Chain A
Amino acid sequence: DAKTTQPPSMDCAEGRAANLPCNHSTISGNEYVYWYRQIHSQGPQYIIHGLKNNETNEMASLIITEDRKSSTLILPHATLRDTAVYYCIVRVNDMRFGAGTRLTVKP
């Protein structure tokens, strides 16, 4: 019962920005937008989260539209090690994962 929609797969050239979209049209006012990634069968790795404002950290930037119905995760300079499944989640307390986007960074 994930509340987000993501494309199943995307490719990106190494060194270029990777822009991963997410739709969450039914998001509530108190729900945060979270992004995680999972490499092979490791535990998901936290990337970034936000409520209303755009956010940036050492890994990525999160752009949330003004109506909060969609967001974009930006990896500014993708490397081969960024190849992973990326999950967008809207969350109040517990987290409900969807199928995510499989990002492949190519040389």
Chain B
Amino acid sequence: DAGVTQSPTHLIKTRGQHVTLRCSPISGHKSVSWYQQVLGQGPQFIFQYYEKEERGRGNFPDRFSARQFPNYSSELNVNALLLGDSALYLCASSYEVYGGYEQFFGPGTRLTVL
């Protein structure tokens, strides 16, 4: 079975631009979560979606948005990019949102903002 996949692998943008990152969960998983990992720190929670509805949001500005599609894939959008948005963006999927169901992570998208 394929694991969580993310695209693109790497991305370079300039300040002020917009970016869309994509995630395909493990087959059968209905929940997708997004994380930002800045170099040297642990992943920081951005969003959690389940059955196309937002179930949780971390402490990120409104420039960050996401959505989940009927096939459970997800997009993370970031507007008006800042230099500080440079990071590894991770997607994780799980069968359910509840704590007993483990989340499995994708390889991440490395975003560089110049």
Task: Show the binding face of A for B, using Cβ within 8 Å.
Answer: 1-2, 30-32, 34, 36, 41-46, 49, 51, 85, 87, 91-100
A49 to B99, CA, bound (A): 9
Q: How many residues of B contact A (CB 8 A)?
A: 28
B104 at the interface (CB under 8 A from A): yes
Which residue in chain B gives the minimum CB-CB distance to A36? B105
A31 touches B42 (CB 8 A): no
Partner of B105, one of A43, A93, A94, A98: A43
A-chain residues with CB within 8 Å of residue B90 when the two chains form the complex = 43-44
Which residue in chain B gives the minimum CB-CB distance to A85? B42
- Evaluate whether A41 and B88 lie within 8 angstroms (CB atoms) in the complex, with A93-B48, A94-B33, A97-B43 already known: yes
B107 touches A43 (CB 8 A): yes
A42 to B3, CA, bound (A): 13
**What is the CB-to-nearest-CB distance from B108 to chain A, in angstroms, rounded to a whole number?**
5
Binary per-residue interface labels of chain B (93-114) against chain A in the complex, 1 for a CB within 8 Å, 0 otherwise: 0000111101111111010000
